[in-house]
Structure 1
C-alpha cells in the first residue's frame, strides 16, 4: 500500500512539473511566435479585446479598457481628454499600436517578464488577467494649461520639465486629434476615420514636441556659447566686432543682424550684450574662428545627432551636419541652414545649463505597476551626459538672465523670481513666416523647471507675442 501511494505521489509530482514546464515554455519561449502567426485569428481578437492596463496622470486614467459592445471583442480601449494626451499615449487599435501603447505594450498587455507569475496564476484560476498600469510624470493641471496656451490654428508645442530629475511635467502641442477615432473595432470605420484625420496636412500622430525637427534660430546660440566659453578665447565681457551684416565666405550672400532689435546701435559690444540682443554677425564670425568641430561637439553633447533617445517614446533626431562649408557653418551657428531641433531638444539645452552643465535623461514614465498594483518598475533620475562645466553653465545663465532683463525676452519678466531665457527666430525661405522659439528656466538662482515654447511657420509678430508670455505663464504655474 505504501509503495502504491509513493508511486502515485511521484507520478503526480512528475505530471505537475511537466505541466508547469509546458506552461513556462508557452508563456516565455514561444508566446511571441504563436501570437505573430498570421493564421492565429483567435489570438488577434483576444489581443485587441484584452483588458489592457491603464495609463494614468495624477492617478486618473487617460487611457483605459472598458467592456465592449462589440460581440467579437471583450474590451474597448477608451481615451479620456484625448486632445491633451493623444500625441503621448498613441492608440491601440485593431490595426496597430502607436505611442506609449506601442513602446510599453509588454507591460500594458501583461506580457512582460516581471508579470510571468501573474500569467501563470491566471491560467490556473481561469481569471482574465489585467495588464500593468503605467503612471506618467505629467502634471494634469500643467498639461491643460500648456494646451490652452497654444492658440487653435497654430502649429505649436510647449514642454515643461523638472530640472533635477528630467521628469516631463507637461508636453502639449497643436493641432491635436481624438485618438478614440482610431480605437474603433470596425476596420471600415477605422479607414474612414483615418482618412478624415489625415485630410489635415498638419496632423502629427506623435506630439510635435518630439516628432517635428525645425530650424531653432538664435536659441541655438546657447550651444555656440558653450563652445566659445570652453575655448578660453571668450568671456561674457569680451568685446567683439558687431557689424550690421557680413558677406558669407566664398559667396555674395549677406548675413544680417536681427533687424527687429537694436544690434545696429553698437558696432562693437560685449558678448553678454550681443547675447541679450541676439546679434548674428558676432556668432557667425566666432564659428568661423573656432571651426566646425567644437560647435558640433557641443551640439552632440546636448543630444544632437543622437538616434537612440527615448522618453520612452521615440524622439526624432535633431541634426547638426558635418563637413560644412564656411558659409554653411556661419549660418548654422545662428540656427539656420541644415541645423534642426525638436522642442524637446531645446528644452534639454536649457535644462542642462540650469543643472550646472549636467544633462538628465528626460522621461514621461514615473512607475509601472502590476494588476494588483505591486511596483514592477520605477524611473530613477539618470545622468545622460556632462555637457559642460558648472562655471561655464553659470556664465551662460547670467547672460540668459540679461536676455530677459534688457534683451529680446523682456515679456518674460516677473517680480516673483529671475527668469533665464533665450529667444530664437528662424526665417523660412522667402515666405515671410518664421519658426518662433524661446527656451529657459527659473528661478535663475535656484533652477527648478525648464520651459520651451516653439511655433512653426508663423508670422513674426504673432510668434513673438506668444513665446515669452507663454514661457512665463508656465514657469509661474509650475513654481507657484
Structure 2
C-alpha cells in the first residue's frame, strides 16, 4: 500500500474515532444537560405526556395536573394561585418553571434518578408514568393569616418553627396568579408574561428570599446585642452611652437618636433599656467598641453571607467587608451597607428562641411516589450555634422588654409572653422607611419565629414605624400558630 493511501486511511480512521467520541459524549455525558436545556421542545412535549406530581400543603394540592384534550395532555393548575405563588412558582410550556416547580422539577416530572426503578416497574407493568408529589412544610392557616395581615402592602412575611427550621409561612406582596402562565393558549401566556414583567413593583420576585435586599434597620441590634453579650464585656444591665447625638470619629457628622432625646438620664442607659427603646446612639457606641470583626463574625453565625437552598436559592445577606468606624456605627444599627432577606431576620429570632441553635430552614417536608410511599424526607439539621444558651436567654429577656415596655407594644398577645424587636430602616435618604418586626412566641416555649417587612411605610407612608405597621402583622401570624 503506497504512502498516500495509508495517510488517507489514517485520516478516515481518525474521523471515525472523532465521530464515535462525539456521539458518546452527546448521548451519555451531555444527555441530562441537553434534556434539561430550556426550550428543548422534545423534552417539553415528553414532560406533558405524563401526569406531573402535585405540590401539597397539609395534604391539600396547591399545584396539580389535570388532563386536557389538546396535544399537551396535562395542564398545571393552581387552586390557591396567589396565596402560594411565590413558593410553588409556575410551570409553563413557554417560559419553563420557577420556585418549587423548578427546584423539585425532576421529582415532580418523574425524571429524577431517585424514581428510576419505579419508572422501570411502570414500563414492565404497563402502568401510566407519573411524577412524585412534594409535601411542603407550610401551614395553611398561618400562610392565610400572613397574607391577609400583609394585604396589599409591599413587603414579605416569613414564619419558622425555631426547633426544626421548617418554614410555616412565606408570603410576599405584590404577588401573582401562576394559572395564566400554565395555560395552553400560548398567545394568552405570552400576553400574561409581558404584563407581569411590565407590572410595577416586580410581582414575580419573592421578596422573602430574593430581589433587592433590605436594610434591616434596628432588627440588626439583636445581632449587635448578641456580639456584645457573647464578648463577656456586657450584660443586659451594663451601662452604655445614650446621648441625643453621638459624635462619630473621623467625621464631623454625628449620629442622632430617632426622637432627638437622650436614651436615659445623664446621657446613659442600660443595654436592655437601649434595646427596648431602640437607642441608636447606644448601639452605635457598642458596635464601635466591639469592632467590625466581632459584629461580622456574629452576623455570620446567624447566617449572613451563607449560601442557602431551602431548596429555593436564597440570596445571601450582606455585612460590609471593611467598614471604618463611622460606617461600623451605622452598620451596628442595621444601616450603611448591611442588607438582609426577611428569611435571614426570621433566622435570627429563631436561633435565639432555640437556645442559640440555628436550624437550617427548609420548605419541603416529604416526597412521595404515586403509591404514596415516602422516597425522601427532611430531618431537622443544625446550621450553627449562633450564641450560647445563656446568651440566648439574656437576649430573650431583652426582647420581652421590647414588647412589654418598649417599641414593640403592638406585638403583645394577651396571656402570652412575646419576644420581639422593631426596626425602621431609612430608604434613599427620604423620610419614608421600610418597617420591620421580628420575634417569637410564646417566649417561654417558642413555637414560631417571625419576620415582617413592609416597604415604604405601607399604607401609612410617612410617620410609620415597625410598631405601627409591622408588629400587628407579626402578632396575627404568631396567634395563628399558637391558637388552637
Q: Which residue of 2 aligns with 1:278?
A: 278
Q: Where do 1:45-60 residues align within 5 Å? A: 45-60=45-60
Q: Higher mean Cα deviation, 254-263 or 356-365?
A: 254-263
Contact 2:433–2:464 (Cα < 8 Å) also in 1: no
Give the CA deviation at 1:262. Answer: 7.3
CA contact (8 A) 1:311 1:364 kept: yes
The equivalent of 1:293 in structure 2 is: 293
Q: Which residue of structure 2 lines up, in the alignment, with residue 474 of structure 1?
A: 477
Cα distance in 1 for partners of 2:186, 2:39 equals 18
* Alpha-carbon separation, structure 2, partners of 1:37 and 1:195: 22
Structure 1 pair 233–372 and aligned structure 2 pair: CA distance change class (3 A): same
The whole-number CA distance in structure 1 between the counterparts of 2:425 and 2:127 is 57
Residue deviations 1:186-214 (CA, integer Å, cap 9, x gap): 43322211111122231242421111410
- The more displaced of 347-356 and 123-132 is 123-132
> Which residue does 2:450 correspond to in 1?
451
Aligned to 1:118: 118
Task: Report the equivalent of 2:134.
Answer: 134
TM-score by length of 1: 0.90
Which deviations, in whole Å up to 9, do the C-alpha atoms of 1:25-46 show, x marking residues without a partner?
A: x999875256258996433212
Q: Partner of 2:472: helix, strand, or coil?
A: helix
CA deviations over 1:449-476 (Å, ceiling 9, x no partner): 1111111222354454221122222112
Match of 1:142, SS?
Answer: helix
Structure 1 equivalent of residue 245 of structure 2: 245
SS at match of 2:222: helix
What residue number does 1:322 align with?
A: 321
Matched, 1:428 2:431: no
How many residue pairs were aligned? 453
> What is aligned with 1:403?
402
**1:341: Cα distance to partner?**
0.6
Distance change >3 Å, CA 313–CA 346, structure 1 → 2: same
Match of 1:412 in 2: 411
Once residues 34 and 318 of structure 1 are traced to their aligned partners in structure 2, the CA distance between those partners, rounded to angstroms, is: 33
**Larger deviation, residues 369-378 vs 27-36:** 27-36
What pairs up with 1:351-362 in 2 under 5 angstroms? 351-362=350-361
In the aligned structure 1, how far is the partner of 2:222 from the partner of 2:62? 36
Q: 1:104 to 1:39 in 2, by over 3 A?
A: closer
Cα displacement string for residues 243-278 of structure 1 (whole angstroms, at most 9, x for unaligned residues): 111233222222111228873666111111111000
| Structure 2: distance between partners of 1:324 and 1:255 | 16
Aligned residue in 2 for 1:159: 158
How far does residue 402 in structure 1 lie from its aligned partner after superposition? 0.4
CA change 1:355–1:27 in 2 (3 A) is farther
Contact 2:355/2:393 (8 A) holds in 1: yes
Shift of 1:51: 1.2
Check whether the contact 1:220–1:333 (CA below 8 A) recurs between aligned residues.
yes
Q: CA–CA distance in 2 between the matches of 1:428 and 1:34? A: 44
In structure 1, what is the Cα distance between the partners aligned to 2:404 and 2:340?
26
Partner of 1:254: 254
Gaps of 5+ in 1: 1-25
Corresponding residue of 2:12 = none
More displaced 10-residue stretch of structure 1: 164-173 or 179-188 = 179-188
Q: Secondary structure at the match of 1:210?
A: coil
> CA RMSD of the aligned region, Å?
2.2
**Distance in 2, Cα, partners of 1:382 & 1:65:** 32
The residue number in structure 2 matching 1:147 is 147
Q: TM-score w.r.t. structure 2 length?
A: 0.89
Give the C-alpha shift of residue 293 in structure 1. 0.2
Per-residue deviation, 1:109: 0.9
| Equivalent position of 2:13 in the other structure | none
Equivalence map 1:25-174=2 (5 Å): 32=32, 35-36=35-36, 41-69=41-69, 71-94=70-93, 95-152=95-152, 154-174=153-173
Corresponding residue for residue 465 of structure 1 = 468
